[in-house]
Amino acid sequence: MKLSKIRLTLHQKQKYRGIWFILPWFVGFLFLFFVPLINSLRYSFSTLKVNDSGFSLESAGWANFKNALFQDETYVRTLIESMLTMVINVPLIVIFSLFASVLLNQRFKGRALTRAIFFLPVILASGVIAAAESGDYAQAIVGSASQQSNEEFTMFQNLEFAKLLLRSGVNFQIVEYFLGAVDRIYQIITASGVQILIFLAGLQSISGSLYEASKIEGATGYESFWKITFPMISPLILTNVIYSIIDNLLNSPTTTQIRDTAFKSFQFGLSASMAWIYFVVISIFLWIFTLLISKRVFYYD
């Protein structure tokens, strides 16, 4: 008696493919990150003391969290500044990535080289370059450049463009936001390489027949973008927003303070509590952004 083959529906096949896709990450998390995550939670409720035989834990209750939120002089301020910087940078990064990917998706000579140039900041921001940035010499250069950029920003406010916007009735906060975007242009371009690749993959997956049909109907390029391109890549906008939030906060001043508290001040319990507070705040921001954007995401079947 032969056993009949189990036939899966399309929805079931897609579900199992998703499980296979996340399986390597899940196995890696289970064997590499799960135990350190639990230990970090233990440390946040304890006072860790290093001695000759290793280390010892003494229960501290919520003392580390109270210290981080109410006694530490800089943590809350640094956390708020990191969040504000993220709120400013993420929309700029996503908008720039979408604009650049649309341009790079066009057919022109040297397209492959241009795409490589846009991805170069991702390569330069890793490895030896990232290690060099942590040196005192690089910090001095960055500090000097930051001071110079602030002076240039003050001068830029007096240009006719800013005056024109203000005279046109544009809100001062909006003008200041755009001027701040110019001041952050290097940071935005450096953080946009992966997002551009994701958008490019999405743009190339859109069927050309949709654009051909729109041309037959007399749609302009502007109308095709907002009626076809933008809705089709809206799931990737959500993906890039989540990626940009996490990427932006991984290298924030708050992360540096958490690391310095542990390995320079040797306050491992306080550092762990700061990390968990940071984790909760990031999770709340991710939930809010996902909830707002997912309502407008269009999935093409």
Instruction: Enumerate the domain spans of the chain.
Output: 59-294
pLDDT at residue 48 in the model: 77
The 10 Å Cβ neighbour count of residue 96 is 18
Element (H, E) at 46: strand 46-51
Q: If the chain, 301 residues long, is cut into consecutive pieces of 10 residues, what is the mean pLDDT of each piece?
A: 62 81 90 89 83 75 89 89 87 88 81 72 54 46 48 48 67 66 72 86 86 87 86 89 87 88 85 92 90 81 60
CB 181 within 8 A of CB 96: no
The vertex-36 CA angle with 32 and 42, nearest 5°, equals 160
pLDDT at residue 166 in the model: 67
The residue with tokens 């995401």 is 297
pLDDT at residue 273 in the model: 92
CB 78 within 8 A of CB 170: no
CB 227 within 8 A of CB 214: yes
Residue among 188, 202, 272 at smallest CA distance from 231? 202
**Range 185-190 contact pairs with CB under 8 angstroms and sequence separation of 24 or more:** 187/89, 188/89, 188/92, 188/93, 188/96, 189/96, 189/121, 190/121, 190/122, 190/124, 190/125
Q: How far apart are CA 89 and CA 300, in angstroms?
A: 29
pTM score above 0.75? no
State the CATH class of domain 59-294: mainly alpha
pLDDT at residue 132 in the model: 47
Give residue 89's identity as a one-letter amino acid code: N
